[in-house]
Structure 1
């Protein structure tokens, strides 16, 4: 079995047995785990970024279709990702306690949930056009966005299978697998985008935004197959089966269902709060995107460009957040309170540092960044002003992401969710509406509302982690 990055190969010991590691050692261990996770998470958003850039140069109208299609799937996707984070919590704490069978059981239970959620939410995505019409979008935008949503929905099970499996591999200190798979997936997606978005003479007709969604759907099934192939090959490659993967194929799904009723209860207990938090967070984000749609096609396209760029940058902080969750969970599994606290604080600081250079870039060259996404002068001008707001928000947003990761690793779900979501719905969305419509700031005003929520959430969550870090440790 691969050598772990943290001292978790021995059974859990009393906290007094574990030495307090230096900040330098914590930074090194977090970066060692976070770097491939950051690249893997950035790779996932990189697929959407390539879609946005390639569709943006195809036409501003198609970019608006893509934004609405993504908005429909985002709420359901993030709800599913939140639930599947229970896999990370259970597997990382089990791995920290050297309970490898329990870590494997967490993955199989998560996989069962991933398939079922993917089917249900894929069907919902297929209803994108009537959903967009119901919330007041124009028939043209609803038809274009609905076609994009349908294509995305066809690949929802594959995406969730990959996400659940990557959480498991990260929890058992094998984060590089997802990094390599995502690198290949991005190259495949760009090639498929060229074929489906623009078409090839004599081979295919241009499909615009729908073509980008079809390319992404095919890419999702590719990386799902790749990560499953790696996990199931671990047994014969390493000659041992500590995670209990050696199950006959015909019995495997039945055992996964059984785990869905046992380990799955614990997974849902931890994941439900994260699912609610991420769903409501996504709903707040997408509500602001829908508001941008009411401002007009150009405002919607510009706001989508800025939000996409922010999410791409924040993948570094989110990757650090996942690494922080794993390291906090490992420390709790081995009953190591001092290093649990230090791992959390180091992760929070690194999350802010990761995004700082990009925040400065957004402040210094906002127009240049916007021009990477689109050649439409009106969209670039709106995005330029909006990027200035993003530069003020990004660093704190990175710290918020890693603070949530530290709290997630500790199993603190519902209190975190209430603080985070309350900030967005009670402050962010209303403020965004007032700034954009009542005060006339347009797309930049929507992001001002988002920024106000992020600053409030940061203050609330930092105080929460400080409290949780001094509570008695408890494995969930």
Structure 2
């Protein structure tokens, strides 16, 4: 049964991981293009991405709730198309409202960067790039809603195919606007926005025409919701969004802290963070697969299946983290050299030192991400949100500020804070799932006896 569950998890997870990697490849393309424009463009882009990703991941968290709701609905009754459709509609509505709220807040991005004493020479271009990125927000989070819907039905491959095509589309669009049209950093933002909208529209059309998905009538039925339904959706999705935003917020604030150290530190941080983000896409994909597998078992009241699916997913995350951490540790100069060819550049040396520290948190980062996904499958989101906030902010942020500004470590001290925060969150989230295993096991034994 263990091998069967591991195979089922991997079968579901691999296309999701591929989709996540393709999605981050779109972002990596933007970073590479910005780096080739200039160090100034890369630094400005880093400041913009740090703010954009906080709000975008909040919206992604709201959309991910669809996977848990759909999986449990299918686990209870595979023919309950109405509950599935309502979950998707509520996800699209809530993420749309989240977009409007984020847009209203990010209007004040420039004053925030000034108040946070970012390098003055970067602020104008960072604000411009951020406003263009916001055009990508809505199609990006709606794509995540549809992806959660298809993954919960064990059909993650369409999203993967589209995202792979999206990498090429984004590269062509960004290159065309940034270099061929000579719009520079503004062109990178325009190209990325265009690619994101085309991807979402293609996915929406596919969902409408595919035989397996069209029977749920996502687009052909009226979008009817109610406050009780939206409140229930927010009860699940709100903590997920806040948890993801807390983690991304820690990394986003780390960029702002780096900005107080200097432009070289910001650019180096962005490059090291890019590799850490690429690696994180694997446990993030595993996390979404774990949500579906645990949700299906929970909906069917298969408590032994919940426990088995949860621990297998966490074990996979630990194994992958050990592998990615080893690669970062051994090949740090070569990986940084793909972004900064000049080894004599101060940015190169700083980025290598940051990536070595990123190697240290690979296991705990994957563990906390997948543990969160396992708990989402049980619709347990409020307590994990508190655990994550304590780990990321109370432990991680305080350590980053202390080591970064009260010791000679500077930027390395900020990365040490990231290690501390992720490790603390991992310990608490694994403890939470352990609590669930103790709660479910007696029920399992009674059912088996009966």
TM-score (norm 1): 0.88
Q: Deviations over 1:53-92 (max 9, x none)?
A: 2211321111111011111212211222222222121111
Q: In structure 2, what is the equivalent of residue 429 of structure 1?
A: 397
Decide which moves more: 373-382 or 328-337: 373-382
Give the one of 38, 41, 50 matched to 1:71. Answer: 50
- Corresponding residue for residue 148 of structure 1: 129
SS in 2 for 1:373: coil
Asked if the contact 1:123/1:153 (under 8 Å) is kept, the reply is no
RMSD (Å), alpha carbons? 1.9
Name the CA shift for 1:25/1:443 in 2 (closer, same or farther; >3 Å). same
- For 1:350 and 1:312, the matched residues in 2 are separated by 17
CA shift, 1:36, in A, is 0.3
Aligned to 1:91: 70
Is the contact made by 1:119 and 1:156 (CA closer than 8 Å) also made in structure 2? no
* Equivalent in the alignment of 2:446: none
Return the alpha-carbon distance in structure 2 between the equivalents of residues 355 and 319 of structure 1.
13
Match of 2:447 in 1: none
1:222 corresponds in structure 2 to 198
Compared CA separation, residues 187 and 211, structure 1 to 2 (3 A):
same
Cα distance in 2 for partners of 1:421, 1:408 equals 16
The residue number in structure 2 matching 1:335 is 301
Query: Which residue in 2 is equivalent to 1:4?
Result: none
User: CA, structure 1 residues 437+239, in 2 after alignment: closer, same or farther (shift >3 Å)?
Assistant: closer
Which of 111, 116, 119 is the matching residue for 1:130? 111
Q: Which residue number in structure 2 is paired with residue 287 of structure 1? A: 253
Structure 1: tracts of 5 or more residues without a match: 1-21
Aligned position for 1:25: 4
Name the residue aligned to 2:96.
115
The aligned residue for residue 428 of structure 2 is 460
Q: Could you tell me whether the CA contact under 8 Å between 2:52 and 2:134 is conserved in 1?
A: yes
Please, which runs of 5 or more residues in structure 2 have no aligned partner? 444-450
Distance, in Å, in 2 between the alignment partners of 1:260 and 1:319 is: 31
Q: State the match for 2:406 in structure 1.
A: 438
Of 171, 175, 185, the match for 1:194: 175
Question: Given the superposition, is the C-alpha separation of residues 106 and 301 from structure 1 closer, same or farther in structure 2, using an over 3 Å criterion?
Answer: same
3-state SS of paired residue (2:37): coil
Q: Hey, what's the Cα distance between the residues in 2 that align with 1:245 and 1:425?
A: 39
8 A Cα contact 1:84 1:114, kept in partner? yes
C-alpha displacement of 1:239: 9.9
Quote the residue 2:290 is aligned against: 324
Which residue does 1:16 correspond to in 2?
Answer: none
Question: Deviations 1:315-353 (Å, cap 9, x if unpaired)?
Answer: 011000000000000001111000110000000111222
For the 8 Å contact 1:305–1:370, the answer to whether it is kept is: yes
Instruction: Indicate the larger mover: 219-228 or 279-288.
Output: 279-288
Residues 331 and 375 from structure 1, CA distance in 2 versus in 1: closer, same or farther, beyond 3 angstroms? same
- Equivalent residues of 1:83, 1:272 under 8 A apart: yes
Q: Tell me the equivalent position of 2:182.
A: 205
In structure 2, C-alpha distance between the alignment counterparts of 1:150 and 1:245, rounded to whole Å: 31
Shift of 1:205: 1.8
Check whether the contact 1:109–1:260 (CA below 8 A) recurs between aligned residues.
Answer: no
Matches within 5 A, 1:46-57: 46-57=25-36
Range that drifts further, 459-468 or 436-445: 436-445
* Distance change (3 Å), C-alpha of 1:392 and 1:109: same
How many angstroms does 1:244 deviate by?
A: 4.0
Indicate the residue corresponding to 1:167 in structure 2.
148
1:418 aligned residue: 386
The answer to whether the 8 A contact 1:122-1:156 is kept is: no
- The offset of 1:454, in angstroms, is 1.3
| Bigger fraction of residues in helix | 2
User: TM-score of the superposition, structure 2-length normalised?
Assistant: 0.93
3-state SS of 2:354 partner = helix
**4+ aligned runs moved over 6 Å, structure 1:** none
